[in-house]
Amino acid sequence: MPHIVLFSGGTACRSINLALSRKGVELTRVVPSWDSGGSSKGIRDALDVLSVGDVRQALMTMAYGEGRVGDVVKICNARVSLQADHEGAKAEFEFYASGRHPSLLRLDAGLRGAILTYLQTFETAVGAAFDYRNCSIGNAILTGAYLAHNRDVNTAIFVFRKICDIAGNVWPSSLDDDAVLSAQLKNGCILTAQDAVTNLSPEDAEIGIRSVSLRNASAAPVRANPAVIEAIKSADLIVFGPGSPYTSILPHLLVEGIASAVEARPCGKVFIGNILQCRESAGSDLGEIVAAADDLCRVARPGASDAGSIFTHVLANRVLFPFAKTVGSFPYLGSETIDGDADRIVLRGEFEDAWNRGQHDGDQIAERLLSLAGP
């Protein structure tokens, strides 16, 4: 089976990940390392560590797609109650960390011991004042492994995959634990941190995003994870998207070394357009988003050839309505301004899931990707 490298965010590519995993594809997910929101925020603030939330979520999607539904996966997918008070949330976490949870008691002693070691390492590191409400048990295990293995996230991920018996790979695009994403709006205003960009106000969403930048605390370029570069070098197909364009997808191209490695790999490179607009792409067209990706590539690899797009193919959902239509609060993403040429093929199709409006039909997209990954 081909090796597909998928640059993605979190939930948007879930159905595609599941379909590819079920088909037995050798799959590598590359996820952001600059997440600054959700339950990862509390861990990152408390320990000054690389955010593991997107990594853990992608690993759980891999596990589900590969049919791993045992006690270990249930534990890693569990979460402390959001509505509990401080002491109640701490006691709930301790129910896992002390090994009293029935799912832990059913495990082999060696496996249970490893999980408890990582949970207790995490518990010691965050201290008694840590707010456990909504804390992901999987995030705690993965962070505990990260701390226990000399803050080496690649080793922590390897251990986590072995614990859950996951075949697929998931890597953060960078090992820098202080990467910060910023966005400049079209009126010149700067928004700093991923969660600030994701949670654009309606007024800022209407103004729109002009560009994004990625830097670490010393204002130096964010360096690529060597495991990601190795994955790119052996890829039969490289895929970007779907997902939030300016926080989950396009910033990968700003990580030092990634755009050059993608350009150098002689294989197909695909951009999957979203089904719907989101706050980050309000009022935009797929052509504008792909053009923004090409602009970021030129920023990331100055002096390199800019003769055309880095992408060989774009998957564009065909909008069937001659009038404005929304799913929830977001309209469909149009693709009128994107055209194919000698270097880039636009593949249009009805890619929306018939049962889950606004989402991709994972099986259909997987079949398209497999056809592009062939010899």
pLDDT, tens digit, 9 for 90 and up, residues 341-372: 767 899 999 999 999 999 999 999 999 999 99
pLDDT, tens digit, 9 for 90 and up, residues 80-122: 999 999 999 999 999 999 999 999 999 999 999 999 999 999 9
371 phi/psi in degrees, rounded to 5: -65, -30
Residue 173 in contact with residue 30, Cβ under 8 Å? yes
Residue 103 in contact with residue 20, Cβ under 8 Å? no
Q: Map out the domains of the chain with their CATH numbers.
A: 37-167 (no CATH), 223-373 (3.40.50.10680)
The whole model's pTM is what?
0.94
Q: What is the pLDDT along the chain (375 residues), one digit of tens a residue?
A: 899 999 987 788 999 999 999 999 999 999 998 887 777 778 888 888 888 889 999 999 999 999 998 999 999 999 999 999 999 999 999 999 999 999 999 999 999 999 999 999 999 999 999 999 999 999 999 999 999 999 999 999 999 999 999 999 999 999 998 889 999 999 999 999 888 998 899 999 999 999 999 998 788 889 999 999 999 999 999 999 899 999 999 999 999 999 999 999 999 999 999 999 999 999 899 999 999 998 888 877 766 555 578 899 999 999 988 888 899 989 999 998 887 776 789 999 999 999 999 999 999 999 999 999 966
- Measured CA to CA, the distance from residue 165 to residue 70 in angstroms comes to 10
Rounded to 5, what percent of the chain is helix, strand, coil? 45, 20, 40
The helix (run of H) or strand (run of E) holding residue 314 is: strand 313-317
